[in-house]
Structure 1
């Protein structure tokens, strides 16, 4: 017997096999799907099983006689190839709407309309006026004017269809009516804003254009609650809007912000011992100069930017560029692997290259800033810059100290000693006007600690008792200076705690280093 029409004893006969679920699909109560010409369903193919039709259908309970056969629920498997039926439960459901007196698939009253779309499955669309949807709530923004006269608006619309529409034809010119555009300000504004750069002498002024920008952002947000087709048109056009040319003051402002980010990121990378997140290959911001700072003064409050403040920022940016190059040269993983294989001459060549750059920096920035700072009576903001300069010198020599033998590295050791002694003197002679000024605290706190850790490096690398005694004393002296400043200013407190944590690492007991066992 043909298995596609076989009758299983005690059950109804099936029609074509393709309408009957296989044994595996029947057990899972899922739809059995099999391509034409295939001997196995998709489930059995996926599981590499033989597709069989041996089991009898499930015994169905007798239905309530009061119910018709049309109301009886059908098994899922037998309905899997039938189109879905959707019953709308609202008051305007299709079973009622289909009785409307349609005229060309449209039924309309004064404030209600229904469209009958037979092409997409006998669907009905109900439309009501905007007033019923509260599309313009009381807080809907007031549209600004477009130019001083109606001729300006007409010129912009003509320009739109002559230029914009030729490249981006999403509107239907035959359906555009000026009076309807007046009621649909977002679409009108988007069209005029796009056309304005191409109109003669820019029909809309810069002030009017900025006003329309604010209006478009507010109105489109409001209309998105109940969008119309015009809302989508206006939004799509608004996405094509032109960017405004930045004023010089705004360009300078962005340059200052970019370099402020660059400075903080580079010094935080040094202090945290992590790779820098800003690559020089992706950095093309113009080098910040004093000219990028405004010399205008707030007339009401007398606020302004002094020349020394602008010069200090520019100097810090230039010093950070040196640091940016130094980090991958000495403190990256690849650098750590390659430095150990360099000869003494190669290491000294790297050191002298950066010594030259730091010397040029000192001549260009530090000496002029020192003379400017002498005139500061109340606050001297130069402490952050000078501390960063001493720190950069110290980490330069620290980077190669471990790779140069003690008998041939006397130059580096002597230079490191000189730099650290200058740093101690800088800390000792910090003036009240410097300590009271604002420090760039995220990395200034760590820079004080880095200088102390380099002193510990020198102590660890000491080769004789005199040198050990010298650096032990110098670390204690430096800590005492930090502690004396911390009594009134917290910029040095972190460095004190870091030094105390490092004492056992060097093999020195706290009692061996003067002042090291005192509390902060």
Structure 2
């Protein structure tokens, strides 16, 4: 292509004698921390200035003893030159004629340069309202060096080397490591991140269809053109605050300055999620909506290819694609867990020699992957793939959300409202992690094959065994709920904006229901203590009512916000639990009560689905459950049950439910525990705050682990029950 008159770069500088030249401050762009090797490198003796490639990278030019090339040039297998013309190596350069013009002075890094897209370079309107001045090029800024990250390099990927692999850690320690903590050999490049963990870096070009990645990204952009920037705005406004698995500032600045080395499946995933709020932008609503089906097809194909060269962007893309309500999460989740382990996401990266911001990003992605695995395990009823014995990731902290020191000085100032929204989203993400850990304990305690066999072996004592194991996890759930920050409570002021706190509280109810579901499944009225049988079912009834009332209180700003992928099933689990209580109800009156509540719940979901379409699935599952209940045998009335079995013995005066609690299904005739919960709900509606539901009668019944409650004067025993003392909870 024709070139404009070249700018005499060499003549623009005054040269000092070599013995007077000193390295400019800030030129080094190395990883913070001491190198793990004690070998001292030999600084370039030929010329006391960096080679052309190192100057472009703003990196130290280091030549090890006995080598002709500097470390970086040898690593990238490129020519190490000291001429002062830019890009002396022969390689494909687009727009070469304008490269040296004053209006376009961007010197492209060997590490991050792809062919530019055919589309114009837009700016992300809500994030970066104006483009940078023309004279500020990437090379003149303190641009991020992705080559110094572990999981985000553009032309190579990392794979974790475990202790039992053929790469023995002692043998690795004998290798020669440079100042980048890297050692090159025939199979690849070893990179140590601390004294214990090591990765092997492999080139992307050896993987399938790597050369087509730039074309795939171009295709993704064309499918949404010219609305890509506006869709990214929607993503960062609605999705990202509540699911912060992307380094926002780094992404935005790279996009704004024209960098187009992003993963195609990641970009497609961001666009696909943002399309759910297409109508929220008046400018977008006036145009035809891009075809999400085509985007998904390109995204899934690109993701399968990206798995051969795994990077953090691969996990990010997979997690975003799994947030689609229609996504089949199980098989893809298992693949992402394996890739995460290959990237070392299950390890503690707190002391690794990688950029500080990458450590925080890795922790956020790791915990997002953990939640994806655990909630997929619950909603599919299948074994989890992440075990606590091999999970070393530290708890998330406020510092893990920092965006500083990513190499970009340009920074959009946030308003106080935006900062508050970001803090709320970070708190929401952190609280969801804490709840997921409790939910995982529920699954490990009650739903593993070992636990199922334990309960089966217990026979008539299975309920007592389940109750004894349920006590600790129930206390953890209550403590978690009581300590929720005000910013993520349902009563928090939304200021007329979308709020995703609903998915957190729905997950809480799903966890409670999963626990009580196991108790109800074990109950047998023919063998269990009648009072204990009643108290367990009363507690389950309370949980169902509280969950249904929570759904009734959801507002449009909740329904139209971002919902976590498991929410669709969590809404369904409420209906499933109601159907279970209906099917196991001992009397016709109680069965009618649940039938009525389920009919009301279905109506609520069908109305709410106008604002949240994914609720249609919950409605369909409710209908399926009702169809199964058509085969339910007719139940005896309460009068028949009393005449056949006699009136149950009286319970302690304080916690005894009235006999009408098992009577007609009207809401006024409920147990003391239920009435207590409804009074809590009334106080909630009047005060504007929600503090959760309790069942003090059940807590008294549980007493010590595995015990059943006693009467006012002694201890009650029955076939299949365990003798024990009553330990009421302190008020």
* TM score, norm. by length of structure 2: 0.39
Q: Distance in 1 between matches of 2:470 and 2:391?
A: 25
Q: CA deviation at 1:248?
A: 2.3
Is the Cα contact below 8 Å between 1:401 and 1:413 reproduced in 2?
A: yes
CA displacement, residues 199-219 of structure 1 (integer Å, 9 cap, x when unaligned): xxxxxx99899589999969x
Matched, 1:239 2:363: no
1:434 is aligned, of 552, 558, 567, to: 558
5+ residue gaps, structure 1: 1-140, 162-172, 193-204, 219-232, 510-520
Report the aligned-residue RMSD.
Answer: 4.0
Is the Cα contact below 8 Å between 2:374 and 2:440 reproduced in 1?
A: yes
Q: Distance in 1 between matches of 2:563 and 2:572?
A: 15
Q: Which residue of 2 aligns with 1:502?
A: 625
* TM score, norm. by length of structure 1: 0.54
Q: Distance in 1 between matches of 2:629 and 2:146?
A: 67
* Larger RCO (alpha carbons 8 Å, 6+ apart): 2
Q: Distance in 1 between matches of 2:588 and 2:451?
A: 33
Q: Which residue of 1 aligns with 2:607?
A: 484
2:451 is aligned, of 305, 312, 335, to: 335
2:614 partner SS: helix
Q: Which residue of 2 aligns with 1:52?
A: none
Q: Which residue of 2 aligns with 1:420?
A: 544
Which structure shows the bigger proportion of residues in helix conformation? 1
Q: Which residue of 1 aligns with 2:426?
A: 310
1:456 is aligned, of 579, 586, 608, to: 579
Is the Cα contact below 8 Å between 1:190 and 1:234 reproduced in 2?
A: no
2:54 partner SS: coil
Q: Which residue of 2 aligns with 1:29?
A: none
Q: Distance in 1 between matches of 2:375 and 2:394?
A: 20
Residue pairs, 1:49-88, within 5 angstroms: none
Residue pairs, 1:62-211, within 5 angstroms: 143-145=53-55, 156-157=62-63, 160-161=64-65, 181=69, 185-186=73-74, 210=147
CA displacement, residues 73-129 of structure 1 (integer Å, 9 cap, x when unaligned): xxxxxxxxxxxxxxxxxxxxxxxxxxxxxxxxxxxxxxxxxxxxxxxxxxxxxxxxx
Q: Distance in 2 between matches of 1:145 and 1:246?
A: 22
Q: CA deviation at 1:464?
A: 0.7
2:508 is aligned, of 380, 386, 389, to: 389
2:563 partner SS: coil
Q: Distance in 2 between matches of 1:263 and 1:241?
A: 29
2:484 is aligned, of 339, 362, 365, to: 365
Q: CA deviation at 1:352?
A: 2.0
2:384 is aligned, of 260, 263, 276, to: 276
Is the Cα contact below 8 Å between 2:149 and 2:358 reproduced in 1?
A: no
Q: Distance in 1 between matches of 2:154 and 2:631?
A: 69
Residue pairs, 1:334-353, within 5 angstroms: 334-340=450-456, 341=458, 342-353=461-472
Q: Distance in 1 between matches of 2:519 and 2:153?
A: 61
When residues 147 and 460 of structure 1 are mapped into structure 2, their CA distance, relative to the original with a 3 A threshold, is: closer
Q: CA deviation at 1:432?
A: 1.2
Q: CA deviation at 1:293?
A: 1.7
Q: CA deviation at 1:370?
A: 1.6
Q: CA deviation at 1:148?
A: 9.8
Is the Cα contact below 8 Å between 1:312 and 1:382 reproduced in 2?
A: yes
Q: Distance in 2 between matches of 1:428 and 1:499?
A: 16
Deviates further, 471-480 or 374-383? 374-383
1:355 partner SS: helix
Q: Distance in 2 between matches of 1:506 and 1:437?
A: 34
Q: Distance in 1 between matches of 2:52 and 2:482?
A: 59
Q: CA deviation at 1:508?
A: 5.9
When residues 377 and 148 of structure 1 are mapped into structure 2, their CA distance, relative to the original with a 3 A threshold, is: closer
1:239 partner SS: strand
Q: CA deviation at 1:236?
A: 3.9
Is the Cα contact below 8 Å between 2:490 and 2:501 reproduced in 1?
A: no
Q: Which residue of 2 aligns with 1:86?
A: none
Q: Distance in 1 between matches of 2:78 and 2:491?
A: 53
Q: Distance in 1 between matches of 2:154 and 2:571?
A: 52
When residues 466 and 206 of structure 1 are mapped into structure 2, their CA distance, relative to the original with a 3 A threshold, is: closer
When residues 443 and 239 of structure 1 are mapped into structure 2, their CA distance, relative to the original with a 3 A threshold, is: same
Q: Distance in 2 between matches of 1:422 and 1:215?
A: 49
Q: Distance in 2 between matches of 1:485 and 1:495?
A: 11
Deviates further, 280-289 or 420-429? 280-289
Matched, 1:288 2:404: no
Q: Distance in 1 between matches of 2:618 and 2:387?
A: 29
1:447 is aligned, of 570, 577, 584, to: 570
Q: CA deviation at 1:495?
A: 0.5
5+ residue gaps, structure 2: 1-50, 81-141, 157-182, 194-351, 633-731
CA displacement, residues 167-187 of structure 1 (integer Å, 9 cap, x when unaligned): xxxxxx5xx6x5xx58x9537
When residues 211 and 146 of structure 1 are mapped into structure 2, their CA distance, relative to the original with a 3 A threshold, is: farther
Q: Distance in 2 between matches of 1:504 and 1:449?
A: 15
2:497 is aligned, of 372, 378, 397, to: 378
Q: Distance in 1 between matches of 2:553 and 2:149?
A: 58
Q: CA deviation at 1:237?
A: 9.9
CA displacement, residues 444-465 of structure 1 (integer Å, 9 cap, x when unaligned): 0000111100100000010111
Q: Distance in 2 between matches of 1:464 and 1:425?
A: 24
Count of residue correspondences: 319
Q: CA deviation at 1:298?
A: 8.4
Q: Distance in 1 between matches of 2:383 and 2:149?
A: 45
Q: CA deviation at 1:299?
A: 3.7
Q: Distance in 1 between matches of 2:554 and 2:58?
A: 63
2:544 partner SS: helix
When residues 494 and 460 of structure 1 are mapped into structure 2, their CA distance, relative to the original with a 3 A threshold, is: same
When residues 504 and 375 of structure 1 are mapped into structure 2, their CA distance, relative to the original with a 3 A threshold, is: closer
Is the Cα contact below 8 Å between 1:449 and 1:498 reproduced in 2?
A: yes
When residues 403 and 487 of structure 1 are mapped into structure 2, their CA distance, relative to the original with a 3 A threshold, is: same
Q: Which residue of 2 aligns with 1:323?
A: 439
